[in-house]
Structure 1
Amino acid sequence: MRVSIKDIALKCNLSVSTVSRALNGDYGVKSATRTSVMKVAKELGYVPNIAAKELVSQKSKLIGIILNESDGDGEARPAFFELLPHINKTLAIFNYRAIIYTINSNSYIRGEITDIINLRNLSGCIVVSVFRENHPIYEDIKSLNNPIVVLESSILTRICSNINTDEVMGGYMATRYLIDNGHKQIGFVNGPQNFEISNERFEGFQKAIEESQLQISDTAIIWSNYTGSGGKDSIHQLIQNNPAITAVFFANDLMAMGAISSMAESGILVPKDISIIGYDGLFVCKYYNPPLASVVIDNAAIGVRAAELLLELINGGSGKTVRVMPKLFEGKSVRKY
């Protein structure tokens, strides 16, 4: 005779609904309870009917991970690859699986993200790529009836949470580190001006500059594109227009690395001739030559928390905003001046 959930509930002295949630890996069931239920289920020889469960619940236990395929002009964003394992591990604990979807931000059509969710009957989505502030995908997200978590945006609805690093603090920390090392002629190479994270990092930069009463020329601030080639082009423009500059804050590590490599080809050495600090704290920073000083984003904490926030929404929770504090990796690309 086929073992049912009722049989497991009777032996565990638990309600059928609690056993069901434990077997389904639903968020909110205590770890000890879930372990006990799984042990009894195994002893009794319980075999779940996956197809029937999904038919009844009308949920696929699939989570969509949304990427911007046109992000970075063809250059992959390394931070994503550091986030994904932590998202996957957290979802797997509760029997959810992640599936990656790419969206071309330049050809996006209103309702596209809704179509993706409906096509695979997704339980929810995590948007890990940055889109420009006025991008139509954000308007669609605001009207969605599906649980969703966005990174690098402050969108908040009853069924949408957002999580990110405290970008203002990160921009402040990077600039403050250069100032504390004696630099007064500082340049800043930022990402696109229509990205929320760019403006927040710039706000942190301005805060540190104003606090130290430094005067920064408009030509010492360049809005680029978060790519290595963007960093390469920007650094030469920056030095040409500001020959007295002694340090540069790049709003991501890719731009900083592109600039350092290009300067080396021109005989400009870091940190001997100019100091550089980046942003993101990619694991490759410590292996770069020289090891790149950077504001470190805690991708492990963000990945885990993003998955947890989505599970909370799936189980009836309300949207919330979470900010994770960054840290500083000093590296060897900044010298005292």
Structure 2
Amino acid sequence: MSVTIKDVAAQANVAPSTVSRVISDSPLISEKTKRKVQKVMDEMGYHLNYNAQMLATQSTKTIGIIMKNSTSEFMHSSFFPEVIRGISALCSRYDFSISLTTGESEEEIFADTVKMVRGKRVDGMIVLYSKKDDKVVPYLIESGIPFVVIGKPLIQSSKIMFVDNDNVQAAKEATDFLLNLGHKKIAFIGEDDQFEVSEARLNGFIQAVKAQGLAVSEGYIKNIQFDPHHGKQVITELMGLAEPPTALVVSDDLNALIVLTALSEKNIKVPDDMSMIVFNNSVISKVANPPLTTVDTQIFQLGYESANCLIELVKDPQMFRKSVIIPTVIVERNSCSAL
């Protein structure tokens, strides 16, 4: 026979209502009592009836995750598996589940979002990107559901809770790292410029170059959208310039892998012939040949803090909409050398 709340209450020598409040993480119950009751629940093998809890609390104990792009592209990203790991770690602490959008296009991802909200399938949402002309964030604002954005929102940023790095400053520091090694001809390779993070890192690059009294050549600014063929074309264009760059700032480490391959095919060695600094500090930058100097954006912490902010917001929808900035740090490896 299954263990009931009354059984737990009798064993813990508390009222059944106290056990119910412990299960709902009520602030009315002391941490000491919560630990005591939780220990008894574990020892007796009590398992929460989630359907009953949902009816009683009007909560799904589920967070919706809105993907940047399709699930097939997600699996090839160095950023998203790690940010999901951070979100999952925090959700596990509070016994929340996660639900991902599964659409294969922008329209399908938006439709998934609407279904989650209208169907009351989730208590809140985490948007894993900030993008120009995005339909998702305006819809979430209109719906009134609690949500958090990873990245600086492009609309109503003072009214939206978000978690981010200071990507302008991080890109300035990455560029300064190369400038301090004596490089004057530095190119920037970004991602899709529709996303706020790409624009912020480009702005930081430009600020660092101009601060040294150097001109910013449009020919030194490129974008790659995770396409090896396009990557080869970009490297061909850069190395075909009258004054080709001696160093690269690459905004994503998966793109950096594409760039490394394209350089190798042209017999351009890193760091002997070309220095390179990248972003994210995922496993890609660690196992690349050579291992890549990188800006560690602490992806796990971005996910962890976004989930923490959202659960706080779910519990208190009227709370102040704060922003959390996760610091970055440069990790030196073997892809940069003095000019």
Give the alignment's TM-score, normalised by structure 2. Answer: 0.86
For residue 245 of structure 1, what is the aligned residue in structure 2? 245
Q: How many residues align?
A: 334
Identity %: 25
The aligned residue for residue 38 of structure 1 is: 38
The more displaced of 174-183 and 21-30 is 21-30
Preserved CA contact (<8 Å) 2:12 2:40: no
- Determine the C-alpha separation between the residues in 2 that align with 1:80 and 1:180: 32
- Residues 62-101 of structure 1, C-alpha deviations (whole Å, 9 max, x = no match): 2112213348968722211112222112111111111222
Separation (CA, whole Å) in 2 of partners of 1:191 and 1:11? 59
Residue equivalent to 1:184:
184
Alignment counterpart, residue 319 of structure 1, candidates 300, 318, 321? 321
- Number of the residue aligned with 2:337: 335
Residues 82 and 27 of structure 1: CA distance in aligned 2, closer, same or farther (over 3 Å): farther
Alignment of 1:137-152 (within 5 A): 137-152=136-151
**Other-structure match for 1:234:** 234
Within 1, Cα distance between the matches of 2:228 and 2:28? Answer: 43
5 Å-filtered alignment, 1:57-96, equals 57-70=57-70, 76-96=76-96
AA in 2 matched with 1:261: T
SS of the equivalent of 2:126 reads: strand
How far does the alpha carbon of each residue in 1:232-260 deviate from its partner, in whole angstroms, 9 at most, with x for none?
Answer: 33222112125342111111111111011
Task: Give the superposed CA RMSD.
Answer: 3.2
SS of structure 2 residue aligned to 1:102: coil
In 1, Cα distance between equivalents of 2:123 and 2:243: 54
Inter-partner Cα distance in structure 2 for 1:122 and 1:9: 34
Give secondary structure in 1 for the equivalent of 2:249: strand
Q: Report 1:228-307 matches (<5 A).
A: 228-307=228-307
Shift of 1:119: 3.1
Query: Aligned letter for 1:302?
Result: L
SS in 1 for 2:79: helix
The DSSP-based 3-state class of the residue aligned with 1:20 is: helix
Contact 2:166 2:325 in 1 (8 A): yes
Contact 2:101-2:112 within 8 A present in 1 as well: no
Question: How far apart, in 2, do the equivalents of 1:174 and 1:73 lie?
Answer: 27
Alpha-carbon distance change, 273 to 247 in structure 1, aligned in 2, over 3 angstroms: same
Which position in structure 2 is the counterpart of 1:201? 201
Q: Residue 50 of structure 1: CA displacement?
A: 2.8
Native 8 Å contact 1:67 1:100 kept in 2? yes
State how far apart, in whole Å, the 1-side matches of 2:27 and 2:168 are: 32
User: For 1:304 and 1:27, how far apart are their aligned partners in 2?
Assistant: 22
For 1:305 and 1:220, the matched residues in 2 are separated by 35
Q: Does the CA-based 8 Å contact 2:75-2:81 persist in structure 1?
A: no
Question: Gaps (5+ residues) in structure 1?
Answer: none
| Shift in alpha-carbon separation, 1:300–1:69, aligned structure 2, 3 A | closer
* Distance change >3 Å, CA 308–CA 261, structure 1 → 2: same
Q: Which moved more, 1:232-241 or 1:89-98?
A: 232-241
Residue type matched to 1:138 in 2? V
Given that 1:295 and 1:327 are in contact with CA atoms closer than 8 Å, whether structure 2 keeps it comes out as: yes
Q: 1:283, CA displacement in angstroms? A: 2.0
Counterpart amino acid of residue 76 in structure 2:
A
Question: Which residue does 2:152 correspond to in 1?
Answer: 153
With over 3 angstroms needed to count, the CA separation of the structure-2 counterparts of 1:76 and 1:247, relative to structure 1, is: same
Tell me the amino acid that sits aligned with residue 116 of structure 1: M
Which residue does 1:100 correspond to in 2?
A: 100
Amino acid at match of 1:78: S
In the alignment, the residues of structure 1 paired with residue 134 and residue 60 of structure 2 have an alpha-carbon distance, to the nearest angstrom, of 28
